[in-house]
Chain A
Amino acid sequence: NAGVTQTPKFRILKIGQSMTLQCTQDMNHNYMYWYRQDPGMGLKLIYYSVGAGITDKGEVPNGYNVSRSTTEDFPLRLELAAPSQTSVYFCASRNGLAGGVADTQYFGPGTRLTVL
C-alpha cells in the first residue's frame, strides 16, 4: 500500500515550458487535492476533485489545469511556466465518506519545481 505517490520529485523548467505533475493514490479515495507551498509559507489549494470526472478550482488555480479520469490519478498540468510557479507541489487524498466524521487527509511527498 503505497498511499499517495508523486512524480517527479524535482524538476527545473525554463520560462514558457509546460509539464505535468503526476499524482496517484491506491487507497480508493474519492477526494483528491493539489496544493502549492512557497518557502516559509502555508499550503494554498490549487484544484480539488470529489470524484472521477469532477474537478473544481481552489484559491490559486491560474496557470494550472487538472483532470480526473480515474479514481486513482489526478495529474496537474502547468502551461507556460513562470518564475512565480516556483514552489513545492503537494498532492493529497482522503476518503470523504466517513459518516460525518472527519477523515485523515494523506499527502504525497511533493514535487519541487523551479522555473528559471
Chain B
Amino acid sequence: RKEVEQDPGPFNVPEGATVAFNCTYSNSASQSFFWYRQDCRKEPKLLMSVYSSGNEDGRFTAQLNRASQYISLLIRDSKLSDSATYLCVDTTSGTYKYIFGTGTRLKVLA
C-alpha cells in the first residue's frame, strides 16, 4: 500500500459547486498534513495545513479523520481559478522527508 494515496481524477465540476476529495495515508502515527496546490507546469505551493481539529480558510476546509486514516479537502463555491492539481502531504511519516501524494486534478467548468 502506498504511504499516501489520492484519486487522480479529474473531478469536473461547474462553477459554484462544492467539491471534496480525500487522501488516505498508511502510517497510523501520522498527525500532521498539508494540502498543496500545483498549477499546470508550475511548482507546488502550500494551500493549507491540516490539524486534528480541522482547518478552514475562506472557501476551503480541511479535515483529518484519524480513525479511518484519511484527510479531506472541501472547496465551496468553486471558481474557475481553483482548477489545479491538489497534492496531499504527510509531514510526519518520514524522518526528514515529506511524503507527497500524486495529486487529484480538479477542473472547474464555466
Contact residues in A for B102 (Cβ distance below 8 Å): 41-42
Residue on B with the closest CB to A50? B96
User: How many residues of chain A have a CB within 8 Å of chain B?
Assistant: 21
Contact across chains for A90 and B43 when beta carbons are under 8 A apart: yes
Q: Binary interface profile of A, 59-102, with partner B (CB < 8 Å = 1, else 0)? A: 00000000000000000000000000000101000001000011
Min CB gap A11→B, angstroms: 15
> Within the assembled complex, what's the spacing in Å between the Cα atoms of A56 and B95?
12
> Within the assembled complex, what's the spacing in Å between the Cα atoms of A33 and B101?
16
Contact across chains for B32 and A108 when beta carbons are under 8 A apart: no
Contact residues in A for B32 (Cβ distance below 8 Å): 101-102
Specify which of A31, A41, A96, A105 lies most central, judged by the most chain B CB atoms within 10 Å of its CB. A105
Contact across chains for A110 and B103 when beta carbons are under 8 A apart: no
Tally of A-B Cβ pairs under 8 angstroms = 42
Q: With A102-B34, A102-B92 in contact, do A43 and B44 touch (Cβ < 8 Å)? A: yes
Specify which of A31, A48, A107, A108 lies most central, judged by the most chain B CB atoms within 10 Å of its CB. A107
Contact residues in B for A102 (Cβ distance below 8 Å): 32, 34, 49, 91-92, 98
Q: Determine whether A45 belongs to the interface, using a CB cutoff of 8 Å to chain B.
A: yes
Residue on B with the closest CB to A41? B102
Contact across chains for B43 and A108 when beta carbons are under 8 A apart: yes
Contact residues in B for A88 (Cβ distance below 8 Å): 41
Q: Binary interface profile of A, 23-43, with partner B (CB < 8 Å = 1, else 0)? A: 000000001010000000111
Q: Determine whether B97 belongs to the interface, using a CB cutoff of 8 Å to chain A.
A: yes
Q: Determine whether B45 belongs to the interface, using a CB cutoff of 8 Å to chain A.
A: yes
Q: Within residues 73 to 99 of chain B, which ones have a CB less than 8 A from any CB in chain A?
A: 87, 89, 91-92, 96-98
Interface residues, chain B, with chain A CB atoms under 8 Å away: 32, 34, 41-46, 49, 87, 89, 91-92, 96-98, 100-103
